[in-house]
A and B are shown apart, each in its own frame.
Chain A
């Protein structure tokens, strides 16, 4: 069955430090992979997405993610975190039956300390 695992429920980093959020997926075919960010009480904003091509994907707000097929992973990274990055981050895999839908991970809540 298709699934997405985000092992870290909550992460705290210092402002200016680097960040890596982990995501592992289970899907038989070539996956569509996504990272979304959600601020409290808000909707979802797409950070980046991957289907094919270069396995290192650049997104908005200085984020990037790397697809590693051998590890079934799609980890999100940012070299220097800003206080405004504090939010909930969701990894998702697109499954293609009948036009497609997303399966989301549980989310990782990011806190940024001064």
Chain B
């Protein structure tokens, strides 16, 4: 079991470009959660997805950010027209059904740098 896989580990984008971050959950985990860690801060919840469904997106910025978790393939966090303030570490966690945070496994994160 390879754990939660996030790629890329590091991503550099110029202002105005798009960033796509991928998260492959652990085998048997059908729930995915995205968190953002700004420099010198704790992690902040962004979005919770199940296959083909967004369950809770209360932490997502209203513009430029979107997330999906298709029936096949990894979950994708997409940031359009990136700005310097988007520079952060983005972590994904997966969990089996019904376990919520008690069943979380975190990935190693994607560090996004906007130049």
Contact = CB atoms under 8 A, between A and B. Distances in A.
Contact of A98 (B48, B59, B101, B108): B48
A104 B101 contact: no
Interface residues of B, number: 23
B109 interface: yes
Contacts of B59: 101
Nearest to B106: A44
Contacts, number: 67
Interface of A: 4, 32, 34, 36, 41-46, 49, 51, 90, 92, 94, 96-107
B32 to A, nearest CB: 11
A99 B100 contact: yes
A102 B34 CA distance: 11
Interface in B71-115: 91, 95, 100-102, 104, 106-109, 111
Contact of A42 (B31, B42, B102, B108): B108
Contact of A99 (B31, B43, B108, B111): B31
21 contacts: A32-B102, A42-B108, A42-B109, A44-B106, A46-B106, A92-B43, A94-B100, A94-B101, A94-B102, A97-B56, A98-B55, A98-B56, A99-B55, A100-B48, A100-B102, A101-B45, A101-B48, A101-B56, A101-B100, A102-B104, A104-B35
Nearest to A109: B40
B33 interface: yes
Contacts of A103: 45
A97 B56 CA distance: 9
Contacts of A96: 100
